[in-house]
Chain A
Amino acid sequence: MSGPKRLGTPRLARVRASDDGRPLAVDGREVEAVRESWLVEDRWWTDAPLRRRYWEIVTTCGRDVVVFRDLEGAGWFTHR
């Protein structure tokens, strides 16, 4: 290992979402309930601002998953 390696780096997630951005299925598993949603904005004063809409959801198999949509770039990610 060359240097320190970050833990929990975002990984691409397959998310199907409704028109208002609410996740309907994550990695092929239907969403049973949305527990919480929050917005994270950071580094807005730099050239590489960070804007993410996080969703904590429960899938039909009972798994609790946190996914986010990158509002600056595009795509859905998870931290697992």
Chain B
Amino acid sequence: MFAYVIVSVLLPRFELVVASGDRKALLGEPAALAPEPGKEQKIGEVSLAAEAFGVRRGMRLGEALARCPRLALLPPDPLGVADAWDAALERLEGIGAAVEPQRPGLACFDARGLLRLHGGRVEGVLDAARAAIGASVRLGAGPTRFVAIAAASRARARRPEIVREASALAGEPVGLLALREETAVLAEPLERLGIATLGELAAVPRAALADRFGPAGLLAADLVAGSDTPLRPRPASERLEETLEPPESRSGEQLERALEILIDRLLARRERRGRTLRAVALSATLVEGGTWRERIVFREALADRARMRLALGGHLLKLPAPAEALRLGAERFGPPHATGRALFDDGLAQRRARLREAVRQARAAAGPDAALRVLEVDPGSRIPERRAVLTPFEG
């Protein structure tokens, strides 16, 4: 048994499968996700049959159609993808896994805490994950996140792949680096330099990789050497959302009014328990088919209706088509708010008073050195230790 057991869950072509809905037969034909409205004209995920024509994800629409004139384009469904992915993650959390989502269709979790729940062996955990997600899932296990994802990418539908150490991937192509966002840019230049496999990459000195590729090169060296950053599982999710189907007009002022109602309803929900909102997701089902979704992170966690309307109103203008239904969901919560501070009545005196109180409490808890100030004495000095001193903070 190895020290770390990271399990990777891969649902191939997840976004395409969700967007195809009931028309699963399309997946056997050359098909791709159409470019998102208002964004760059690049196609999304492609079917296996389309790959056979040389069509790749991220390719320009014109080039894709030139390579495969009978390519079927499916309207993207970001809302459906978000819902289906969230449901899949919840099912994984149902078996006790603390899941770190990588992107829709790919997630990892540390299986060590689950071994005793599922028979004491990794295989038991993998079986439980398959039972939770479904038979089409590809499962991989390894000592690090990168190794586990690489294992999942070469696993078959009913046969999970367990890779005991990073060196076992030596024969795999460097294209696997594309599975990680930070190292995705390295795959192509490495191939051009004649480094085709992860084993060849592991033989390149770290300094050379750092010199040529910077931090991404160092990360790639770590990954092939079997070291990776720790997993950061998502916090346990809490579904809090409101949906409205505007009866008549689906754009313009009526949509703004619908948004106001959604904000009011969301803030009125009991489950919010006085907490502020840090990030929300605004999504819509479009009249022409397909969906639209935008995640909005507020500059400051808030629970003020007027400020939320200001922050979200502008995003309605990005709707690519009239909406049939509008949905607003809380993505992340901020700290509870006692008084619901407004935007402009926050004077300097109040801020100073709050700061004084915070300093007083910090000192009461951790002693007089808990709050210090950096005082610049001679900022231009050639001797670094003469530039600044730490002095007690005087509120």
Contacts and interface: CB of A to CB of B under 8 A. Distances in A.
A68 to B, nearest CB: 9
Nearest to A41: B382
Contacts of B390: 1, 4-7
A9 B391 CA distance: 15
A62 B208 CA distance: 11
Given A32-B207, A60-B207, A61-B206, A1 B383 contact: no
B206 A79 contact: no
Contacts of A10: 385
Interface in B192-206: 206
A21 interface: no
Interface residues of A, number: 16
B210 interface: yes
B37 interface: no
A7 B210 contact: no
B154 interface: no
Contacts of B369: 1
B372 to A, nearest CB: 7
Contact of A4 (B211, B218, B375, B387): B375
Interface string A53-80: 0000000111000000000000000010
A40 B383 CA distance: 8
B362 to A, nearest CB: 14
Contacts, number: 48
Given A1-B372, A62-B218, A79 B210 contact: no
B204 to A, nearest CB: 13
B210 A61 contact: yes
A6 B383 CA distance: 12
B389 A4 contact: yes
A60 B209 CA distance: 10
The DSSP consensus for interface residues of chain A is loop
B388 interface: yes
B338 interface: no
A7 B388 contact: yes
Contacts of A32: 207, 210-211
B348 interface: no
Nearest to A3: B391
Contacts of A25: none
Nearest to A50: B383
B205 to A, nearest CB: 8
A4 B372 CA distance: 10
A6 B389 contact: yes
Contacts of A9: 385
Contacts of B383: 40, 42, 50
A79 B385 contact: yes
B215 A8 contact: no
A4 B206 contact: no
Interface string B352-395: 00000000000000001100101100000011111111111000
B111 to A, nearest CB: 31
Contacts of B389: 4-7
A1 B371 CA distance: 11
Contact of A7 (B218, B382, B387): B387
28 contacts: A1-B368, A1-B372, A1-B390, A1-B392, A4-B389, A4-B390, A5-B389, A5-B390, A6-B386, A7-B374, A7-B385, A7-B387, A7-B389, A7-B390, A8-B384, A8-B385, A8-B388, A10-B385, A32-B210, A32-B211, A42-B383, A50-B383, A60-B206, A60-B207, A60-B210, A61-B218, A62-B215, A79-B385
The 3 closest A-B pairs by CB, nearest first: A4-B389, A8-B384, A5-B390
